[in-house]
Amino acid sequence: MNAVRHRHQQIARFSLINTPVGRIGLAGTDQGIFNVNFTVTSQDRYVELLEADGFDVEPDDGSVLQAGEEILAYLAGTVKRFTVKLDLRGVPTFSSAVLRATRQIPFGATCSYGSIAAGIGAPRSSRAVGNALGRNPVPILIPCHRVVAAGGKLGGFTGGLAMKRALLSLEGHAIDGTVVRPTV
């Protein structure tokens, strides 16, 4: 699971939403959303994963609802920018810098791992950028699917390449084999 580890026992509120790209688990604290999970198979399993990360777990009382609504609206093509608060307190410094830079990539745009690395002052760290994005605890909300390899090659994605293709297509990109081509 891509949950961010927190130092103190906290309450995590969670919700499971059915989307056009599959079931997605969402979890948050009072500070914001800390987990978007594409591999959740059941509510019981999601609760187990969250508890294993040291949380007291409660079903959502509405605090995670906004994130679910924004993700569904994004997948329907009506939201292009997320406004929900994120709780990334347990993310290491380098990864945090990568996630902040990635969050700035606008809808419909892509950026390379190397460009992210250069933008955070670590120009020889494109592989480390890819590793940090592979541990992105809140994919879609931080749009790591918009980061591609040199020459527009897809690279990887936490939710799998089929989901990365679907999200990039939703944003107006054509994918020729393993290469992303903007359609605009």
Residues catalogued as catalytic:
144
Assess contact for 145 and 139: CB atoms under 8 A: yes
AA identity, residue 8: H
Distance from C-alpha of 34 to C-alpha of 137, rounded to nearest angstrom: 6
Helices (H), 55-125: 65-75, 93-103, 113-119
Provide the CB-side half-sphere exposure for 72 (13 A, CA): 13
